[in-house]
Amino acid sequence: MRILICDDDTLIIEQLKKYIESYFESNHLKCPELVSFTSGEALLTDKGEKDIVFLDIEMPGMNGIYVGNELKKANRNVIVFVVTSYSEYLDEAMRFHVFRYLSKPLDKQRFFRNLKDALAYYNSITLKIPVETKQAVYSFPASQIIAIEAQGRKVIVHTARQDFDSIHNMNYWLEKLPQNSFFQTHRSFIVNFEHIVDFDHLHHTFIKSSDYRLPDTQEIQFLQKCISTISGKHEVKINGIYYFTYF
């Protein structure tokens, strides 16, 4: 894992480094590679992996909004923290699915909570999930699994690549999939929050990026789960309104 920091204020860079190192040390974990940049241009020319990025908005040259959008174009799974004193950039930051919005001056305990969430999310999207069929066993990152669907006695795994007939039942998949990324919306469906783009309250359906429509939603529980799980990194569109929360 690589964690990148981009801010034209070197004092903020040092503070973020200390907080990150302190978090890993206090949890008895090996600290990943930390790399810092003082401009968006320098960050974008970096050729290494970009797993978690702490990004300032107000910088000379390329601003953080532009840089964040470019990062997401290159890797939709990059986890971006916006770190700024300017709350008016929140709406623009949400458009490229910022993970969390951190206000300056930084609060250490709040920072630790958000970093913990980011690491949990990183583990869930990089986790390889085996999909066993009668013919073979395939392996995918959890982020590529769109939904699990029960059709009578068949259980279908919908992925970004293709659909697979699983030999396992729905209970197996409920236990196997990371709970911070997946939710059982109906006895016949388990969905990946990352692929949800719309929720139709009136018809109790979901419209996902793959254009599946899902029936009989556990409406209130799902909405609460969306807000608590997706907060700060994805928008949830409900009745034409985008809901955002952040910590």
Burial of 85 (0-12, 13-18, 19+ CB in 10 A): exposed
Q: Which range has the worst mean pLDDT, 34-38, 140-144, 205-209?
A: 205-209
pLDDT tens for 61-107 read 998 889 999 999 999 889 999 998 866 666 676 666 788 888 889 99
51 pLDDT higher than 80: yes
CA–CA distance, 138 with 162 (Å, rounded to integer) = 11
Highest mean pLDDT among 11-20, 71-80, 185-194 belongs to 11-20
| First-residue to last-residue Cα distance in the chain | 23
In terms of Cβ atoms closer than 10 Å to its own Cβ (0-12, 13-18, 19+), residue 71 is buried
pLDDT at 185 over 80: no
Among candidates 182, 143, 149, which has minimal Cα distance to 164?
A: 149
CB atoms within 10 A of CB 73: 10
Q: What is the pLDDT of residue 199?
A: 52
**Nearest residue to 19 (alpha-carbon basis) of 146, 123, 118:** 118
Asked if 165 and 150 count as a contact pair (C-beta separation under 8 A), the reply is: no
Question: Where residue 207 falls among pLDDT bands split at 50, 70, 90?
Answer: very low
pLDDT over 90 for what percent of the chain? 46
What pLDDT score does 14 carry?
97
* 103 neighbors 75 (Cβ within 8 angstroms): no
Q: What pTM does this model have?
A: 0.65
Q: Give, to the nearest 10 degrees, the angle between helix 108-126 and helix 10-26.
A: 70
204 has pLDDT over 50 = no
Supply the pLDDT for residue 40: 95
The Cα 144–Cα 126 span in angstroms is: 10
Indicate the pairing of strand 241-243 with strand 100-103.
Answer: unpaired
